[in-house]
Structure 1
């Protein structure tokens, strides 16, 4: 019998494991994702997903109950998405999470070598639908595309990106 992988004990490591598993789940659903999308109000969505139907899904990762209880900014994310989900691990007490959001559970663990195991993550509870106004949807879709393109450009040529940033500061 194969040993069961252990859950990450460090909160940052756990958050990273949850993120990886949920990004994998989003890919299986056909959703395009962007980590740390900077929203118009200056807050950062942990994961923003663009569904094939042009719907925008905000996914807030919670590494544990203390992380959830210490953070109230997630309530503003509903204004910037069609659906809001919390992404947690199997050990998270689900009763803490509000009914106004969906729940994604990341089935992750770490092998003794530090390699991550991604098993079956799932949507346990679908999020209520919040239809964005057309102007807000256009703005967010444009923001999503711009931030994704900038990140891709940085990967393709970091030197050009640094020069562009310096030029923007001068203007």
Structure 2
């Protein structure tokens, strides 16, 4: 039997992976969101977590595992044009005051998470929502197909 593709692509730190897991568990349990990790967007960026809610709402969560991780990242505003709500996510030990007060904030560990500050609701234009939902549908199907039939190769 062929070896399954790695679920972790080795770009994330162990801390970021723990936060990612907690964010995804929290969004699923508390808000009934289905989540995708590492989603390429049309602007060339890659969202850490994209959640789709039961009414089609789209949230993007940008994970910051340390102060330096936040300080060197200047690309995060580019994610906001692809979601209804934008959040930063941080491990519990990271000071919440380093994050902009007008952005959503989630604290998460490897088991769960909590919203510390709700994000503003900025509804996506219909055409962008449709394009992103189509992308997520195809991405999810490709990931499942690769897990079911690894010989097909890796998909984006």
Report the TM-score, using the length of structure 1 for normalisation: 0.79
Tell me the alpha carbon deviations over residues 123-147 of structure 1, each in whole angstroms, 9 at most, x when there is no partner.
1111011111000000011111111
CA distance in 2, matches of 1:17, 1:107: 6
Distance, in Å, in 2 between the alignment partners of 1:100 and 1:38 is 25
For residue 28 of structure 2, what is the aligned residue in structure 1?
Answer: 27
* Deviation (angstroms), 1:107: 3.5
Q: In the comparison of the two structures, how many residue pairs are matched?
A: 143
Instruction: Indicate the residue corresponding to 2:145 in structure 1.
Output: 153
Q: 1:76 corresponds to which residue?
A: 78
Structure 1 unmatched runs, 5+: 1-10, 109-117, 166-171
Which residue pairs with 1:14 in the alignment? 15
**In structure 1, which of residues 130, 133, 137 is the aligned counterpart of residue 129 of structure 2?**
137
Gaps of 5+ in 2: 1-11
Structure 1 segments of 4+ aligned residues over 3 angstroms from their partners: none
Question: After superposition, what is the alpha-carbon deviation per residue over 1:41-82, rounded to whole angstroms, capped at 9, x for unaligned?
Answer: 111000000011101100000001100010011111111100
Which residue is equivalent to 2:59? 57
- SS of 2:19's equivalent in the other structure is helix
Larger Rg: 1
Aligned-partner SS, 2:143:
helix
What TM-score, normalized by structure 2, do the two folds share? 0.87
Pairwise CA RMSD? 1.6
Instruction: Provide the C-alpha distance between the structure 2 equivalents of 1:23 and 1:136, rounded to a whole number of angstroms.
Output: 23
Equivalent in the alignment of 1:38: 40
